[in-house]
Structure 1
Amino acid sequence: MKDLQEILAIARQVGWGAADILKSYYHRTAADLNLEVEYKQNEPVTVADIAVSKYILEQLQAALGNEDFAYISEETYNSPLSQDKSKLVWIIDPLDGTRGFIEKTDDYAVHIALIKETRPVLAVVVVPEAEKLYYAIAGSGTFVETRNASPIKLSFTPDTRKIEDFTVVVSRSHRNQRLDYLLQNIPFSSQKAVGSVGCKIATIIEQQADVYISLSGKSAPKDWDIAAPELILTEAGGKFTHFDGTPLQYNTNDINQWGGLLASNGQHHEVLCQEAARILEQWDNI
């Protein structure tokens, strides 16, 4: 089997190819754009999702095969490709932020993560409209590249600000009363609305925001929403955990990431988790 650096080079090339396909759909004129939107469990799926999923799977399988790897894509996770948990597992979101893609907000991304047992060891997140590709190998840091520039290693600068000075990045569409109550009672200085999880984490890495909070309700984020962005954030020095501080687990018997999740630049992370849990306990007792 190839080593992780060789596998990463393949994943980066596939990520850029996936971005090109998405942009070809995204920038078509209204006259010839037919995304054929369908809804699965109240979430939109377009022909772009399906085309990019097919492309990523075909490219990875052609380069790496099925002997050492299993494959889980948002569009194919119930297929035989995803059933062997003894292998390294690719967890893929071909189009994270489909609503933003449809609504032309620019907030969409490609997520590609490689999971060993239950944790990510390699990740690629591409933000096509920013022409940026973020990548990481566990223990080796996070890098960002554009098509015409050498990769740059990313890390957070020392931060002495208080929580009251922080900006929280929030969803454009996935909101509920519990989350609104929580955000009203943590004294962040401002909120920044961004669609895709990958784009949200990119805003934290780029130090345009400081915190992201996810609360599951009737539904929850899926493995493919979180796995690649998590490794990109943590290898840059940030943190992404459950409110109780435990790490996220992937490729378990449940693709949902239930409960409260908090991503941050690493500053005041434990305090933020404890405060979030306390405030939600208040809400649940109202």
Structure 2
Amino acid sequence: MKDLEEILAIALDVGREASNILRSYYHETIEDFNLKVQYKDNEPVTVADVAVSQYILESLQTALGNEDFTYISEETYQLQSAQMCAPSWVWIIDPLDGTRDFIEKTGDYAIHIALVKETRPVLAVVAVPEAEKLYYATKGGGTFVETSAGCVPLQVSSDKKIEDLTLVVSRSHRNERLNYLLQHLPCQNQKSIGSVGCKIAAIVEQQADVYISLSGKSAPKDWDIAAPELILTEAGGQFTHFDGTPLQYNTGDINQWGGLLASNGQHHQLLCSEAQKALSEFTSA
């Protein structure tokens, strides 16, 4: 098998071209443009999701083969899930994270490409096409952002009082429990951003500090979280369950149930405790 740096170079090339494909749909520059929006489990799916999923899968499989790796993409998971048997190396892909924002043209959409070994990510690429930025990380190798000006390392913010932290929140996917939790945290500054990848990008760019995900009837999936998590943690942040336990992927259940908290790491444990306390109060109210 190729070494991690060789694999990263391949994933970066794929991320760059996938960004170009999504931008062509977003800016309606392709021939016979029609997003053909459909709904799957109450979530929108467009021809752009499918086209980019196909491109990423075919490109990775052509470069790396199927002998060492299994591939899971949001748009093909149902076809592949029956064959899953928890292999050691798995590519977990979201070809278009933030489809609603893509359709509504907020610009807050991203591409997630993560390589997971056993249950933890070791390589991640998060592309934010409208910002023309490519975030990438390898386990133990730090986080970087690639722009037209070159590549630079990224580090999360530090030395902030807890009340001065900024929460990055969703425009959608809000409910009464989450709203109550957010209202009872010691930090009340908020910034609305769509895609999880864009939210984590805001944290590693020091434009925000905290993100909370709280499952209800449904939960975020492995492909929503795996790549952004490594981008954050390699930049010095933390991304855990409310009880502090690490996230796990490739477990046979693609859902990330419960409360998840991503932060710059500075007040992570206290924020997790406050989130658990608020949830307990909401439940007993």
Q: Per the shorter chain, which TM-score range?
A: over 0.9
Amino acid at match of 2:190: Q
Shift of 1:85: 2.3
Match of 1:9 in 2: 9
Shift of 1:32: 5.7
Report whether the alignment pairs 1:57 with 2:67: no
Amino acid at match of 2:162: I
Match of 2:92 in 1: 91
Report whether the alignment pairs 1:150 with 2:172: no
Any idea what the Cα deviations from partners look like across 1:164-183, whole Å, max 9, x if unmatched? 11110001110000010011
Structure 1: distance between partners of 2:218 and 2:96: 19
Report whether the alignment pairs 1:207 with 2:206: yes
What SS is found at the alignment partner of 1:261? strand
Match of 1:103 in 2: 104
Any idea what the Cα deviations from partners look like across 1:141-162, whole Å, max 9, x if unmatched? 001101x3321111135x2222
What SS is found at the alignment partner of 1:284? helix
Spell out the pairing of 1:1-286 with structure 2 (5 A cutoff).
Answer: 1-28=1-28, 33-80=33-80, 83-146=84-147, 148-157=148-157, 159-286=158-285
What SS is found at the alignment partner of 1:188? coil
Amino acid at match of 2:63: A
Structure 2: distance between partners of 1:89 and 1:39: 27
Any idea what the Cα deviations from partners look like across 1:200-238, whole Å, max 9, x if unmatched? 000000111110000000000000000000000000000
Deviates more, 1:23-32 or 1:1-10: 23-32
Consecutive aligned runs of 4 or more in structure 1 exceeding 6 Å deviation? none
The verdict on how the C-alpha distance between 1:29 and 1:88 changes in structure 2, with shifts beyond 3 A counting, is closer
Structure 1: distance between partners of 2:86 and 2:256: 18
What SS is found at the alignment partner of 2:124? strand
Amino acid at match of 1:285: S
The verdict on how the C-alpha distance between 1:52 and 1:187 changes in structure 2, with shifts beyond 3 A counting, is same
Deviates more, 1:266-275 or 1:77-86: 77-86
What SS is found at the alignment partner of 2:75? coil
CA RMSD of aligned residues (A): 1.5
| Structure 2 gap segments, 5+ residues each | none
Shift of 1:33: 3.8
Deviates more, 1:75-84 or 1:33-42: 75-84
Normalising by structure 2, report the TM-score. Answer: 0.97
Structure 2: distance between partners of 1:283 and 1:31: 51
Shift of 1:187: 3.1
The verdict on how the C-alpha distance between 1:49 and 1:30 changes in structure 2, with shifts beyond 3 A counting, is closer
What SS is found at the alignment partner of 1:262? strand
Shift of 1:29: 6.9
Shift of 1:253: 1.3
Paired residues in the alignment total 284
Structure 2: distance between partners of 1:13 and 1:26: 20
Structure 2: distance between partners of 1:257 and 1:173: 18
The verdict on how the C-alpha distance between 1:80 and 1:222 changes in structure 2, with shifts beyond 3 A counting, is closer
Calculate percent identity across the aligned residue pairs: 73
Structure 1: distance between partners of 2:43 and 2:113: 20
Structure 1: distance between partners of 2:117 and 2:248: 11
Alignment check: 8 A CA contact 1:240 1:247 kept: yes
